[in-house]
Amino acid sequence: MNSQSSMGSYVEPNKEFDRDMNYIPDRITRDGRDGWPVEPGRYRLIVAKACPWANRAIIVRRLLGLEDVISIGYCGPTHDARSWTFDLDPGGRDPVLGIERLQEAYFKRFPDYPRGITVPAMVDVPTGQVVTNDFPWITHDLATEWTEHHREGAPDLWPADVRDEMDDVMKRIFTEINNGVYRCGFAGTQEAYDSAYERLWAAMDWLEERLADRRYLMGDSITEADVRLFTTLARFDAVYHGHFKCNRQKLTEMPVLWAYARDLFQTPGFGETIDFDQIKQHYYVVQTDINPTQIVPQGPDPEVWLTPHGREALGGRPFGDGTPPSSER
């Protein structure tokens, strides 16, 4: 998508990568204070399996068992400068919203919407209008505002006893890793790239140490922090190592992080949401300023994600007092 990324952010020549974090701030809440009350069947979550930010929402929806409460629509992995599109659906239209481009839902509410058309997005089905694309709050609210509709045995992804530390951990993961790989890939100067590279690998080393003696980021059970880290790790060797020049090491060469990532991949709710073909199609085809030939690499072999990880030796209960989600739906 030339100088645009799927998040509506950009890099200018001779400058550092700058992510536009101005999203539609509305939230879907129990009390409906923004005009959007929690209501089963009313909203449709629009995602793309290619996008790490949308991938978070897919995982959280699965873990919490909200499949019958919030419907989901999948955009294809590639798009043009205008919008994500529903080219995976028959006739190229979302079967519920009846639209070809996610842009239509944005424009239905904001006719002159000036920013990137991003996923994930929550859409109000009765009006066809976008509600919010504020991705950190979307998953937070699925976990905290929709509790009456969670499945029996749904995990607590925001445990109160670690929430303050978890906020700090997630902030560092976002700035240094989730966004850090983009800062490397879209650096406009050698100096900007070198700085981004050093920051990324300092954080990767921090995680390698943090996870050496604890199974998950916050201890014995999975939290939203793990979801947020996982979607970047899942894309690391397939995309970020080469395409974004994050190439000090492959993930497979970091013993602790690689075992941790496989542990999550093999946990119900995680691995089945990953589509490596769509991930590679998105980055290598859409981001022509980085990959002008649009050639998509064949590797790496995804079967390595299913090899034994040995993290069970650290103990822990992946879902805390809860249970795994049911088989893929």
Question: Annotated binding residues, as ranges?
Answer: 84
Distance CA 292, CA 190 (A): 19
* Single-letter residue type at 77: P
Q: Write out the two tokens for 237.
A: 């060797």
Q: Which residues are annotated as a binding site for glutathione?
A: 84
Virtual torsion, Cα 100, 105, 111, 115, nearest 10 deg: -90
Active site residues per annotation: 51, 182
Phi-psi category of 41—alpha, beta or left, where left has phi over 0 and alpha has psi -120 to 50? Answer: left
Cβ atoms within 10 Å, residue 220: 13
**105 close to 97: Cβ distance less than 8 angstroms:** yes
Q: Count H helices, E strands: the chain? A: 9, 4
Q: What string of DSSP letters covers 178-239?
A: ITHHHHHHT-SSHHHHHHHHHHHHHHHHHHHHHTTS-SBTTBSS--HHHHHHHHHHHHIIII
Q: Is the sign of the CA dihedral 203, 206, 210, 211 positive or negative?
A: positive
Of 73, 81, 39, give the one whose Cα is nearest residue 57: 73
Q: Is the sign of the CA dihedral 97, 102, 107, 109 positive or negative?
A: positive
Contact residues for 293 (Cβ-Cβ < 8 A; gap 6+): none
| Burial (CB count <10 Å: 0-12, 13-18, 19+), residue 325 | buried
The three-state secondary structure class of 30 is coil
Strand order, beta sheet including 43-48: 71-75, 43-48, 121-124, 129-132
